[in-house]
C-alpha cells in the first residue's frame, strides 16, 4: 500500500480464534447497545406502572395527646415572699409534693393569731344570734299569754256587760212599777182628799196617806235614778269591753314589733356569722396556699422565680413542670392547600429528630426508621403561623414509638394518601395538580350516583 514494509500480504488471516477481537467488531457493538436501550425502555415502562403512595410532608413537634399531660407552669394563688425551696430543676415530684414555701406580705393577713381571733368573732356573733333567737321565742310565748289573757278578760267583760244589761232590765221594771205605784198613790191621795173634805176621813188618815204618797213619789225618783245608774253601768261595760279589745291589739302590736325587731337583729347576726364564717374559711384556705404543691407527677424543668426573699404577685408563674407518663402525640402544621386532604384516621409516617431513617416517601413499605401514626384531631381554624394544626397519635397497628422520645422533639410527618401509578404522580407533579382528594370509596359512590 504505502510500501512501508517489505513484507507482502499473500493471504488473509482468519480472526475466528480471537474472541476479544470479535467483541470489537462494529456490527456486534451496535446490537449490544440496542439491547441495552430496549431493556432500559422496558424497565422504564415497568417502573412507570409501579404503585406510588401519594403523600403530604409537613413539620411538627412531639406533644401530649391529653391537655392535662402537656407541659405546664405552676402559679402562685396568693401574693407572698419566697422563704424556702424544696426542689431543684430536674427533680422528679409526685402529686402533692411541696415545691416551695412562701410567707404573707399583705398586712390584712399578717396577724399570727388571725384564725383564732376570727373564730372568736364567729363564736361571739353566734351567741348574739342565739340570744336574739331566744328573745324571739320569749316574745312568742308572751304573745300566747296575751291571747289567753285577752280571752279571759273578754269573757269577764262580756259577763259584766250581760250583768249590766240584766240590771238595766230589772231597774226598768222597778221604775215602771214605781210609776204605777205613783199613779195609784195619786188616785188614792185624791180620794183621801175628797173623803177628808166630806168628813169621811180623819185628818190623821189624810196626813198618813199624804206621807205614803210622798214615799211612792220618792220611790219613783229612786227607781228612775237606779235605772239611769244601770244604763251608765251598761255603757261603762261596753266601753270596758272595747277598751279590753283595743288594749289587747295595742299590746299585741307592741309585742309583735319587739319580736320582729328581735328577728331582724337575729337575721343580721346570722348574716354576720355567715360572713365571718366565710372569712374564716377564706383565711383557713389561704394558709394552705403558703405551700406550693405539685399538681401532678412530673419533672421540674425550669424555675421561673428564683432566690430567697423575693416577692411574687398573685398568679405569678413559679416553675414549669413536665408531666410524667404522658400519652405522646405529634402536632403537625399543614398548609391550607393540603388541609382538605386530611381526615380522621389517616395514616402518617414520622421521622423523629435523633432517630436516623431511610425514607422512600412513595414506598412506605420499604422505608426504614419511620414510625406510624393516626390522625385523631383536626383543627378547623388556622393558628398564628397561618397553618392548620393536626394531632396524630401513635398507630396501634404499627411499631411503637421510641421510649426515649420526649415532648418538644421535632418530627417530620409524611401523610399517606391514595396509591397511584408512578406515571400518574409524575403527570400530576408536572401539571401542579393536588393529590387525589377523594378516596376510592367516595369515587365509587359518586360514579354510582351519576
Per-residue model confidence as pLDDT tens digits over 304-354: 888 888 888 888 888 999 888 888 889 888 888 778 778 888 888 888 887
| Run of H or E residues at 328 | strand 328-334
Distances (CA, A) of 420 to 43, 247, 363, 424, 448: 18, 107, 11, 7, 21
Q: Which residues contact 11 (CB under 8 A, 6 or more apart)?
A: none
pLDDT of the residue at 1: 47
User: What is the pTM assigned to this prediction?
Assistant: 0.56
pLDDT of the residue at 101: 92
pLDDT of the residue at 8: 57
User: For residue 138, what is its C-alpha cell?
Assistant: 320569749
pLDDT at 10 over 70: no
Kindly list the structural domains of the chain, giving each domain's residue range(s) and its CATH number in brackets, ordered by start. Answer: 53-68+326-449 (2.40.30.170), 71-102+292-322 (2.40.50.100), 114-288 (1.10.287.620)
Mean pLDDT taken over the chain:
78
Distances (CA, A) of 442 to 163, 437, 446, 447: 110, 9, 6, 9
pLDDT of the residue at 443: 45
pLDDT at 25 over 60: no
**pLDDT tens figures, 50-106:** 676 666 778 888 888 888 888 888 888 888 889 999 998 888 999 889 999 998 888
Q: Is 77 helix (H, G, I), strand (E, B) or coil?
A: coil
Residue 370 and residue 359: Cα distance in Å, rounded? 7
Choice among 10-14, 164-168, 173-177, 344-348 with the minimum mean pLDDT: 10-14
Distances (CA, A) of 98 to 9, 298, 355, 408: 110, 13, 37, 26
Q: Can you give the length of the chain in residues? A: 450
- Higher pLDDT: 115 or 421? It is 115
To the nearest whole percent, how much of the chain has pLDDT over 70? Answer: 78
**pLDDT tens figures, 339-395:** 877 888 888 888 888 777 665 555 555 566 678 888 888 888 887 788 888 899 998
Residue 88 contacts residue 437 (beta carbons within 8 Å):
no
Q: Is 302 helix (H, G, I), strand (E, B) or coil?
A: strand
Amino acid at each position: 500500500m504505502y510500501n512501508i514494509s517489505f513484507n507482502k500480504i499473500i493471504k488473509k488471516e482468519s480472526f475466528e480464534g480471537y474472541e476479544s477481537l470479535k467483541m470489537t467488531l462494529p456490527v456486534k457493538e451496535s446490537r449490544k447497545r440496542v439491547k441495552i436501550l430496549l431493556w432500559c425502555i422496558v424497565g422504564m415502562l415497568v417502573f412507570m406502572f409501579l404503585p406510588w403512595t401519594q403523600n403530604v410532608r409537613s413539620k411538627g413537634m412531639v406533644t401530649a395527646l391529653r391537655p392535662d399531660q402537656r407541659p405546664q407552669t405552676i402559679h402562685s394563688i396568693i401574693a407572698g415572699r419566697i422563704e424556702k425551696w424544696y426542689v431543684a430543676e430536674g427533680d422528679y415530684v409526685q402529686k402533692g409534693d411541696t415545691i416551695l414555701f412562701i410567707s404573707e406580705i399583705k398586712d390584712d393577713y399578717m396577724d399570727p393569731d388571725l384564725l383564732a381571733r376570727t373564730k372568736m368573732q364567729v363564736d361571739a356573733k353566734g351567741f348574739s344570734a342565739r340570744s336574739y333567737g331566744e328573745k324571739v321565742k320569749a316574745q312568742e310565748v308572751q304573745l300566747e299569754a296575751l291571747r289567753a289573757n285577752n280571752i279571759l278578760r273578754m269573757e269577764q267583760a262580756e259577763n259584766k256587760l250581760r250583768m249590766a244589761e240584766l240590771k238595766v232590765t230589772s231597774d226598768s221594771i222597778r221604775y215602771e212599777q214605781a210609776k204605777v205605784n205613783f199613779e195609784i198613790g195619786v188616785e188614792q191621795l185624791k180620794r183621801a182628799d175628797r173623803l177628808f173634805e166630806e168628813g169621811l176621813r180623819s185628818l190623821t188618815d189624810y196626813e198618813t196617806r199624804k206621807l205614803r204618797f210622798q214615799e211612792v213619789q220618792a220611790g219613783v225618783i229612786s227607781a228612775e235614778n237606779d235605772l239611769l245608774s244601770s244604763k251608765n253601768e251598761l255603757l261603762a261595760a261596753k266601753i270596758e269591753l272595747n277598751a279590753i279589745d283595743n288594749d289587747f291589739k295595742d299590746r299585741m302590736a307592741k309585742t309583735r314589733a319587739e319580736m320582729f325587731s328581735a328577728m331582724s337583729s337575729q337575721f343580721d347576726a346570722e348574716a354576720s356569722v355567715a360572713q365571718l364564717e366565710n372569712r374564716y374559711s377564706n383565711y383557713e384556705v389561704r394558709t394552705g396556699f403558703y405551700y406550693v404543691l405539685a399538681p401532678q407527677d412530673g419533672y421540674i424543668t425550669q424555675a421561673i422565680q428564683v432566690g430567697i426573699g423575693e416577692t411574687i404577685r398573685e398568679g405569678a408563674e413559679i416553675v414549669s413542670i413536665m408531666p410524667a407518663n404522658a400519652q405522646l402525640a405529634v402536632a403537625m402544621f399543614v398548609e391550607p392547600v393540603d388541609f382538605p386532604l386530611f381526615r380522621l384516621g389517616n395514616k402518617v409516617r414520622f421521622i423523629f429528630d435523633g432517630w436516623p431513617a431511610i425514607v422512600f416517601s412513595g414506598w412506605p413499605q420499604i422505608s426504614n426508621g419511620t414510625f406510624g401514626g393516626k390522625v385523631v384531631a383536626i383543627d378547623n381554624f388556622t393558628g398564628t403561623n397561618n397553618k392548620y394544626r393536626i394531632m396524630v397519635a401513635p398507630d396501634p397497628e404499627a411499631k411503637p414509638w421510641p421510649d426515649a422520645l420526649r415532648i418538644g422533639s421535632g418530627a417530620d410527618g409524611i401523610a399517606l394518601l391514595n396509591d397511584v401509578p408512578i406515571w400518574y404522580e409524575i403527570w400530576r407533579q408536572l401539571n401542579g395538580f393536588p393529590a387525589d382528594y377523594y378516596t376510592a370509596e367516595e369515587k365509587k359512590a359518586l360514579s354510582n350516583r351519576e
